[in-house]
Structure 1
């Protein structure tokens, strides 16, 4: 249930977007609001081991969703230049090295910073307003780093169309959202061993996981599943909104 967090976030984003889009500069306002909400730690919860969906995940990634919608609406295009791929590689490498160089204390500290994980207390800056405002600054910087990494990744991707791969890539959202269901199925077969941590996994486990991952991706990104899942992945909120 918890691993379907992106699906629940996606539904919320689609429902909130028509209203948020009425604001001036929706990307900037969502960026600022998410930084304040998550950085000041006004909402505290411990979703691990429960059926809860962390509200901070929903709020923290909303600016990137608004950024993607803006790019689609404004018809942003890739930078077509001989230096676009090297620039993309450099941007991606620069962001990738940050969590390695800027290591924070704690087992899940980098996850809390870079993946917007839940925290019950400040891991940097100490408790109180000082630590909270430092987290606000981090929440302002991290989405910028994510946006740079996305830009770099997109400029590294092949431009030409490749049979099957391109079509599946266009429908990969279904794979991303529902891959956990396939993971539960192959786990039941026993590829992770009796302890489910891989320590006593059978010798055929890794080839089976790779083969199943390919088949699962083809299944979830097929045109049939895309048509079946599209109302869930892109809820028709226009049906409940007033035309004026």
Structure 2
């Protein structure tokens, strides 16, 4: 199997990737819905730890699948600005305005984008870095070494999403390699299916047994190491290595279990994963700030919150919502960018004589 990501929406899309994106987007929305009350309920905390790799790490890997390592020409740079950088700034402003409307301060976020928007800043950097990374002799080894060593530097933190960008870079490159057809035996062989089931069950089991022992900073990738890791500050890099390796393995398990055929509703909604990621914080923030989420305490209320998160994903990923907000999620940047350079015309080859033509006679005086 060679995984070749489609370049545009429509019948040519591979439903396998869209199915995976819908699952990851749904888990992200559900976690953000219940995240503010997660510490009060063991069941929600188990869900947070068990499904962690299927949320942000899976989104990072899938972003790598759909990225190109080709030269960063003018057209690719323009697309990067209009499809990633501008939506990040637009939704940062919307988030600030909504926070102000809810009674908070009006803070404009540029260096440190709010809530989930760090992902767009990192995505912008990953796509700039990928053509450079693939030139390395051992890209996965080098990017992993950088991710592990970064925890000893306090300078890399939330500003410009520097820590997450470099720590997740190995997973982004890993996703690009998957898109190039790496590990096709894993996805095609029969033995990998029970192994993938065992991996998911192992994640759930580990979360049920040790969810309170797994620290949030181990999974967030936002800050430098702390001395309270089980191996101390000197061995903290081993904890990060284990977390990154587990994330990559569990994403492989998720993709192996994901149906490759087109699923009713799911495949179509998976194409809207980017829209879901941008819009859902704007819906959840008022519910959280007004205390509506904090009131949930009984099992029935928790189930209702989870159900709300799933339904919110379905609504935001729907085609009509995507069309409605497209000016925000895919803004036209003609007012900002210079006119696109025209492609030079292809040179016309000079006419040449047929190879079988006889050589012209040479006259002698």
With the length of structure 2 as denominator, give the TM-score of the two structures.
Answer: 0.49
2:199 matches 1:91: yes
Deviations 1:149-181, CA, capped at 9 Å, x for gaps: 111111222232113211222442432344212
Partner of 1:210: 307
In structure 2, stretches of 5+ residues that fail to align are 1-113, 333-339, 341-365
Give the 3 Å change call, closer, same or farther, for CA 22–82 of structure 1 in structure 2: closer
Looking at structure 2, the residues matched to 219 and 91 of structure 1 have their Cα atoms a distance apart, in angstroms, of: 30
2:126 matches 1:13: yes
2:238 matches 1:137: yes
Aligned-pair RMSD on alpha carbons? 3.7
Give the 3 Å change call, closer, same or farther, for CA 217–18 of structure 1 in structure 2: farther
SS at match of 1:132: coil
C-alpha deviation, 1:113, in angstroms: 1.7
Deviations 1:45-89, CA, capped at 9 Å, x for gaps: 886xxxx56532222111111100111123654523444432211
Give the 3 Å change call, closer, same or farther, for CA 19–178 of structure 1 in structure 2: farther
Residue among 143, 159, 175 paired with 1:68: 175
Give the number of aligned pairs: 215
In structure 1, stretches of 5+ residues that fail to align are 233-238, 240-244
Give the 3 Å change call, closer, same or farther, for CA 164–103 of structure 1 in structure 2: closer
2:136 matches 1:35: no
Looking at structure 1, the residues matched to 246 and 209 of structure 2 have their Cα atoms a distance apart, in angstroms, of: 14
> In terms of Rg, which structure is larger?
2
C-alpha deviation, 1:98, in angstroms: 3.6
With the length of structure 1 as denominator, give the TM-score of the two structures.
Answer: 0.69
1:95/1:148 contact within 8 Å kept: no
1:6/1:177 contact within 8 Å kept: no
1:95/1:145 contact within 8 Å kept: no
2:3 matches 1:3: no
Looking at structure 1, the residues matched to 282 and 126 of structure 2 have their Cα atoms a distance apart, in angstroms, of: 22
1:46/1:118 contact within 8 Å kept: yes
Deviations 1:83-125, CA, capped at 9 Å, x for gaps: 44322110122234345545676xxx52122332435632125
Looking at structure 2, the residues matched to 209 and 102 of structure 1 have their Cα atoms a distance apart, in angstroms, of: 23
Looking at structure 2, the residues matched to 23 and 65 of structure 1 have their Cα atoms a distance apart, in angstroms, of: 15
Instruction: Spell out structure 1 runs of 4+ moving beyond 6 A.
Output: 203-206
Residue among 215, 222, 231 paired with 1:110: 215
1:99/1:110 contact within 8 Å kept: no
Looking at structure 2, the residues matched to 221 and 26 of structure 1 have their Cα atoms a distance apart, in angstroms, of: 38
